[in-house]
Chain A
Amino acid sequence: MATKELNKNEVLLHVDDLKMHFPIYRGVFQRQVGAVRAVDGVSFDVKRGETLGLVGESGCGKSTTGRTILQLYKPTSGAVTFDGTNLVTLKGEQMRQMRRKMQMIFQDPYASLNPRMTVAQLVGEPLMVHSAATGAEITERVAHLLELVNLNPAFATRYPHEFSGGQRQRIGVARALALQPSFIICDEPISALDVSIQAQVVNLLEELQEQFNLTYLFIAHDLSMVKHISDRVAVMYLGVIVELATRDELYAKPLHPYTQALLSAVPIPDPVADAKRKRTILQGDVPSPANPPSGCRFRTRCPIAEAVCAETRPEFREIRPGHFVACFFAERFL
């Protein structure tokens, strides 16, 4: 943990008013008739060595945010500054060089590995693509990487289908680590795994973070796991971040009504503690991001919404040092 405290305040990634709208085409002439506002103006920092958790329900834009940061989608507008460089303006070779420093671990270990490649090829591929190693050196590095993620290097000649879900996710982790990145986006890395296997992968991610001083953006819908792994947590709803704070503060004193409802909906594996809780059950479903409500995105399901919420979009403001919230009435919960 010592290294983690050291450079806690250095910003590694700065995201500024990032928007990602996917156009909707209709009719014979395929005219654009609208857009899915998957990410609609999010801003946040990720500090070096920390884990920022990004939580929200399906369709809230958390995965799109991750992919847009890595420029896997060309953002509609906004800036992504990584280590002092604005990624949005980078082109071709420059961007390719930057990718060495930022990697991604995907959700589905069954779909994210090419079934026709051996483990050695899968883990060695990034080294080859970026000419980071050649020949025998690749074999050596692959063996070392497999050891790092607690896989037997003798498995290097096997194919993905010979492994279980947890082992496959380890291969994905080894592949992400191959180029010694400083920043990894973990996009729901454990959602597809069984409970007893989830803990194995999370412990591995934590060990690797300490060993290599990695910075994580941890995207997930499981609030208890995000609490476990994150230093700070951002909550997304319908394309916007509604609240961001340190994990202790967010979980102990959530200020946005959506965060409050989300936390109260998480089941606790303890019947005694669970019976004592006050639950807020939200009515209805998440509206469509193609046609989001005016003003505050959450107002249609919000238990405390008033007229003003429909008129103006609440500013994402710092209500206390390090605690950001987008709600007109957050003071009530202070």
Chain B
Amino acid sequence: MPDFILDVQGLETTFRTPDGVVHAVNGVSFGLLEGETLGVVGESGCGKSVTMLSILGLIASPPGKVEAGKAIFSGQDLIKMSKEEIRHVRGAQIGMIFQDPMTSLNPVLTIGRQLEEPLMLHIGMTKNQARERAAELLAMVGIPNAKDRLNDYPHQYSGGMRQRVMIAMALSCSPQILIADEPTTALDVTIQAQITDLVKRLRDELGMAIIWITHDLGVVASLAQRVLVMYGGFIIEEAQVKELYASPEHPYTIGLLGSLPRVDEKERSKLFSIEGQPPVLYQKPEACPFAPRCKWAIEHCWKENPPLLVVGPEHRAACWVDTRTGRHR
């Protein structure tokens, strides 16, 4: 058993909606190694964000509810913690960045004030110490004239700069883990390149572990060391990044990679498309949730949901079928 700094076991989260109970996360287990960058990939509604929000105790209840599971972080179960206890973990030992830098900052407080807050709250710095540290942090994420710009309000910053501020804020208390939920999705490609570059540099300097949630398989390829692919609230494939892109095993991963055009492609070929659409699970599925869209599906797929099976070195996939032969594994 490797030494995980975050060990998640059997996480299940549901939401009560007028149409019924939606099973958003259905027994997700994974570990995060120290200093590792873990990519979590999937389409909207696959449960990737809900998984992380559940771990951080940020699921609004009601309508949401973490039904089962553990998330062990430095010997303690985050799921069992009280609101007060987990507040001392969030922002201090686990930092977070969210998708939309426009709405994650308070528009009526200066950037400086927002950066100082966690420093005073979690580390107990004085106002002056926090001010100084905030300027250092802004400079660290590459904002010129950091000291003067502390007095600016968020609307005076561009989208890319606001995301830099979010990163500075998430890293302000030197967390062991940084959870980034689609941090570059709202940004243009040239700005996205700036941000991913910044994160890589900071990761090498500060050595924190990163969980990078995204729907963009391109971004993950350049950042992550290990990747989890999610579908219908399950982890359906897990592998080292090179292995996953070189030999994807789950039909969904194969389809997802095939449906992407590439800027470096030579020949123009028809895109592989996965017919149908992702499910909304009103019941915990008995069968494989991908079976209705899968062209390899066999009888067993409709009867039993496959667990993660070992398919190679450090490579697991939740599929009954060996796609190379079309036969049962």
Residue positions of A touching B, CB distance < 8 A:
57-58, 164, 166, 194-200, 202-203, 206, 221, 223-225, 227-228, 251, 261-275, 279, 281-283, 285-286
Contact = CB atoms under 8 A, between A and B. Distances in A.
Contacts of A281: 190, 193-194, 197
13 contacts: A195-B256, A196-B259, A196-B277, A221-B189, A227-B263, A262-B189, A267-B196, A268-B264, A269-B245, A270-B245, A281-B197, A282-B190, A285-B159
Nearest to B222: A274
Contacts of B197: 279, 281
A271 B241 CA distance: 7
B242 A271 contact: yes
A212 to B, nearest CB: 18
Interface stretch (B128-136, B211-219, B313-321): B211-219
Most buried by A among B221, B264, B268: B264
A194 B263 contact: no
Contacts of A224: 218, 260-263, 265
B222 A271 contact: yes
A277 to B, nearest CB: 8
Contacts of A251: 263
Nearest to A280: B193
B271 interface: yes
Contacts of A279: 193, 197
Most buried by B among A263, A264, A266: A266
Interface string B172-216: 000000000000000011111110110000000000000000011
A275 B224 CA distance: 12
A264 B222 CA distance: 13
A271 B225 CA distance: 10
Interface residues of B, number: 46
A269 B255 CA distance: 13
B256 A196 contact: yes
B263 A58 contact: no
A57 B222 contact: no
Most buried by B among A164, A206, A228: A228
Contact of A228 (B193, B216, B218, B261): B261
B260 A269 contact: yes
Contacts of B196: 267
Main secondary structure of the interface of A (DSSP, over half): helix
A270 to B, nearest CB: 5
Contacts, number: 126
B191 A285 contact: yes
B161 A265 contact: no
Contacts of B222: 267-268, 271, 274-275
A292 to B, nearest CB: 16
Contacts of B255: 196
Nearest to A228: B261
A228 B242 CA distance: 24
Interface in B265-310: 265, 268, 270-275, 277-278
Which 8 A/B pairs are nearest by Cβ-Cβ distance? A267-B218, A228-B261, A199-B259, A265-B193, A199-B273, A57-B188, A199-B271, A269-B217
Given A203-B271, A206-B270, A262-B190, A274 B44 contact: no
B38 to A, nearest CB: 14
A286 B188 CA distance: 10
Contacts of A270: 221, 245, 262
B246 interface: yes
A267 B260 contact: no
B187 to A, nearest CB: 9
Given A195-B256, A195-B260, A279-B193, A269 B265 contact: no
B257 interface: yes
